[in-house]
Copies of this chain bind each other. A is one copy, B any other.
Amino acid sequence: MEQLTNTQNTLLQAIERLKRAMGMSPTVQELAVELGVKAPSVFEGLKRLEDKGYIRRQARKARSIEILHAQTPDKTNLTAVPVLGMVAAGAPILALENKIGQVMVPNNVLRGKCFALKVQGDSMIDADIFEGDYVVVRQQPIAENSDIVVAMVGEEATVKRLSIEGEHIELRPENQKLKPIIIGQQDELKIIGKVLHVWSGVDTEALLEKAKGG
């Protein structure tokens, strides 16, 4: 059985996950949303999975993906996520050329397009997010009340808990000593994404190389 690439493996996993969650095979577009890519990319991926014999489908039929060989459980069960910068400081983030390393995170927490940021400061210590940790963020422009988000307030990137208080929005630190940031009508707030996971550890660039080697 031919080896799958990382992306292909992620796709196969997503198919399994959605299939379980929805009780039916997902559509190409549903997979695209889940993975944070566009439909044609998924379509290509499906062709590859089919070529390699992992799935079968009926041309042009909706929801016709059949899994032939469930994906071999990933030995490490970890996926590399790029570290794009620091957060809770004034530095700009999210420039892809700014990749400063990568961390390994469990596959099962990943959803959509993710990246990681290294945390500065102690504004979220009550949520067990400490200086030097990495937050794994799913890039998305909206978030729900009480999600922990990465947001830009003006030029400042920050990690806080989102709180929608009727008319206005607050970004609340999880640290007794600090006060919420109140977002007014004229303040510019941009949600960068939602924090899916916190990784308290070292940057695993080296670790990944080792994993690939063996």
Contacts and interface: CB of A to CB of B under 8 A. Distances in A.
Interface of A: 23-25, 27, 62-64, 66
A23 B24 CA distance: 9
Contacts of A24: 24-25, 63-64
Contacts of A63: 24-25, 62-63
Which secondary structure characterizes the binding site on chain A? loop
B62 A23 contact: no
A50 to B, nearest CB: 16
A23, A25, A27, A63: residue with the most chain B Cβ atoms closer than 10 Å: A63
A65 to B, nearest CB: 9
A64 B64 CA distance: 12
Contact of A23 (B23, B27, B66): B66
Contacts of A25: 24, 63
A64 B62 CA distance: 10
A27 B66 contact: no
Nearest to A19: B24
Contacts of A62: 27, 62-63
Contacts of A23: 66
A86 B39 CA distance: 57
A23, A24, A25, A62: residue with the most chain B Cβ atoms closer than 10 Å: A24
Contacts of A64: 24
Contacts of A27: 62
A55 to B, nearest CB: 13
Nearest to A27: B62
